[in-house]
Structure 1
Amino acid sequence: MIREARIEDRLAVVAMLKRFHAAADLPFHFSPAHAERQFLAYQAAPDRLCLVTEGDDRPVGVLMAHAVEHPFSGIRMAGELCWWIDPAHRGHSARSMVAAYERWAVEQGCAIISLAGLGSDPKPTALYQRLGYQPAELHFSKTL
């Protein structure tokens, strides 16, 4: 089942964000306090979204997104902050989470929606293209 996150999902979501961070192999430490603040902001604000998918009667996936006005065009667009589904629960729930995200973006008046992938993993790219998404940017990071 996919639903909007509730405050009682806080610890489960922070734990998933930690797994997301580890899988992304990001070059900085994970801060549970910062992750919790983001969860609270995305869970409460009307222009932000925090979805969870349940499995085994607990949250096993999270998608956090926001709706903003694009600075160069004035159109509203939805952007994903993070998307994580525990590996044992991936599959159909991924498409359902994206569909829920897309419905929310339409409700927000967004004309564009985006998703990101972690590094060079081809699986998200293939899924996104099957769902009608096209490559738009490629980001690179460097630790200073």
Structure 2
Amino acid sequence: MAKSKRSPYCYQYAAKFICTSNIPGTSQTTDALLPGSYLTTVNIHNPHEHKFEIRMKMASPAGISKWIPAGLGPDGVLRITCAELKKFKIRLIHGFEGFLVLESPCSLDVAAVYTAGNKESVVSIDVEDVRERVLCG
């Protein structure tokens, strides 16, 4: 029997990712969120002294994107924002609510920044560390 090829990605992170608005009285009305605008930024840091490649995808009830590779240099940082959703090629009508899934051969520092606001200003900001899941045992 042939051996299956082992994935080089031993660490996984799933960050909640929300990029949408709830505007009552318009087609952008939802019962999932209070009225306002919601944005997410995920910061990814390589604490190691060598470069390696990670991969990422977006997953939601509307669909799952293909994996997108990204290089991460020593002590390097990537930032994934709502403006970058288009590179995942998911069809968006009124925003996105789902997960940014990252896989890496090495442990990373991953934090998600969530902001909520109204027309005038930011009302809430929250920074959360994203839990690491070990895939290789």
TM-score by length of 1: 0.28
TM-score by length of 2: 0.29
Greater relative contact order (Cα < 8 A, sep 6+): 2
Structure (1 or 2) with the larger CA radius of gyration: 2
User: As a proportion of its length, which structure holds more strand?
Assistant: 2
